Amino acid sequence: MRIARPRDRAEPAASEITPRTVFLDRRRWLLAATAAVALPGPAQTARPGKLAPLAGAKSPVAGAVATDRPTSPADITGYNNYYEFGTDKGDPARHAGTLRPRPWSVTVEGEVHKPATFDLDTLLRLAPMEERIYRLRCVEGWSMVVPWVGYSLAELVRRVEPTGNARYVQFVTLADRAQMPALRSRVLDWPYVEALRLDEAMQPLALLAFGLYGEVLPNQNGAPVRVVVPWKYGFKSGKSIVAIRFVEQPPRTSWSSAAPDEYGFYANVNPHVDHPRWSQATERRIGEDGLFAKRRKTLLFNGYEAEVGQLYAGMDLKKYF
């Protein structure tokens, strides 16, 4: 299968490209998966490497994959931001075993013609699953390359038919102290909420994700369903989603409410707009020689400028950060 790449996208070095044999093994596994999507009944363990196969995933989508070498499963599942389980990067893997990803439902409400509550099985079958290898860039200056499994968020948006008043989409995450012990902290005003403009949510790269590396999302990565917006900093991609609201006015978001001078609504990856406490010009790729890894140059829109740059044409990206 030919993977289409826009001419102006920054190409990775040869050492970063996934070996062909590894890619083909993954592709054969995905193509061999059955069409019936299934998740295990008991709660998922938070320990890396204890995931269940996610059936129904197809081969990578042309034009929607980065060709960097994927970060190892151990790093992806062991180094996370998920403050509901603690602020240390290892806390989610240690403590997220209390999360119960089944039963689960997501309520869609607000400015839509067809409000609905989708149970997890319905969401899993709403559209064909795809594996998409996306760069993940966090505002603290670290990055990963993650093989997500899911489908475009636009598939769900079209299903509920937004009204003419819908301008923004807000994502509300689970807030249950019995399952998320760190909710007792005052780091943020819970529940965690994030939002996109409607046209951002409709951009095909925005993903509703249910798995990674061809397997069910582990709890610490946002089980059982999360959003992935690869051209934005990681905090924009809400985990463990329980409600999606379509609204007319810009909605509240957690980090822009807690620290508006540090975390803007748009949060587009931008090497030219620094965080007040550190530069965003470079990044450290997790899994590359530890703390002594050579830092990489940060790419505008995380390398997806060709796909999403038109969404912000004419905008002052320093003002609307």
Inside any domain, residue 3: no
- What pTM was computed for the model? 0.83
* CATH code, domain with 166: 3.90.420.10
What's the pLDDT score for residue 13? 47
Answer whether residue 2 is part of any domain: no
Task: Write down the pLDDT at residue 186.
Answer: 87
Which residues does residue 57 pair with via DSSP β-bridges, in sequence order?
A: 129
Task: Specify if 5 maps to a domain.
Answer: no
pLDDT value, residue 289: 73
**How many domains are contained in the chain?**
1
What pLDDT does 60 receive?
53
Q: Does residue 319 lie in a domain region? A: no
For residue 7, being part of any structural domain is answered with no
Residue 149 has what pLDDT? 96
Position 278 in a domain: yes
Give the residue numbers spanning the domain of 196: 14-312
Q: Does residue 95 belong to any structural domain of this protein?
A: yes
Q: What percent of the chain has pLDDT over 70?
A: 78
* 218 within a domain of the structure (yes/no): yes
pLDDT by residue, tens only, the chain of 321 residues: 333 333 344 444 444 444 434 444 444 433 333 233 333 333 344 443 344 566 555 545 544 555 578 999 999 999 999 999 999 999 999 999 999 999 999 999 999 999 999 999 999 999 999 999 999 999 999 999 999 999 999 999 999 999 999 999 999 999 999 999 999 988 999 999 999 999 999 999 999 999 999 999 999 999 999 999 999 999 999 999 999 999 999 999 999 999 999 999 999 999 999 999 999 999 999 988 766 678 999 999 999 999 999 999 999 999 999
